[in-house]
Amino acid sequence: MRVSLLICLALMAQLGVAAQPACQVDNPQLQAMPDAVVTVQTRAGSQFEFNVRLANTPTTRAAGFQHVCAEEIARLPILFIFQRAAQPRFHMNNVVAPIDIAFIKSNGEIESVQAMQPYVMGARRKPLYFPAQPVTAALEANPGFFKANSIAVGDRMSWRLVPVASQQ
């Protein structure tokens, strides 16, 4: 029995089936993002809220979900706020899992929802993701988040900061 266990462990180690490290967040900007609440008003008339992190500075917007494990990406979406309407370009450098993104116009209307894929190591082509028209915000979330919550183009979003005392 003991020999069988040792052989099994040795095979697992050789095959790379060893214990996976815990989810690590090597992104101080992500950890520093304030919390916010997003309210969605669908065209069908329903309304609901969910929590997000708020990327509202150049540093936090640049960091996004880079150097973060897939579990952390799934945990809480990031809302990117821009100072003025623009057509920002999003990339997937240093991002380990797919992400869906909704681009939001200045009136809160969702302009588009796109599926972003991590880059393949060594790939020459690294696509950028951007809206067709100027927007003032973008929401990055786990793949399928928008579909699972029946959030679609034309729905409206608004947001508010969570008071610091509530974040503790």
End-to-end CA distance of the chain: 50
Closest by CA to 73, choosing from 51, 99, 50, is 99
Q: In the prediction, which pLDDT does 122 show? A: 82
pLDDT at residue 29, as a whole number? 85
State which H helix or E strand residue 57 sits in.
none
Q: How far is CA 138 from the centre of its chain?
A: 10
Per-residue pLDDT of the chain (168 residues; tens, 9 = 90+): 554 544 444 444 454 444 445 676 667 888 889 999 999 999 999 999 999 999 999 999 999 999 999 998 999 999 999 999 999 999 999 999 999 999 999 999 999 999 999 998 888 889 999 999 999 999 999 999 999 999 999 999 999 998 865 555
Residue 13 in any domain: the answer is no
Write the DSSP symbol of residue 120: P
Task: Residue count of the chain, please give it.
Answer: 168
Take residue 95 and report the two structure tokens written for it. 């991002």
Residue found under tokens 């050789």: 14
The confidence score (pLDDT) of residue 121 equals 81
Domain range for 26 is 22-167
5 assigned to some structural domain: no
Domain total of the chain? 1
Assigned domain for 2 exists: no
The CATH number of the domain holding residue 130 is 2.60.120.1140
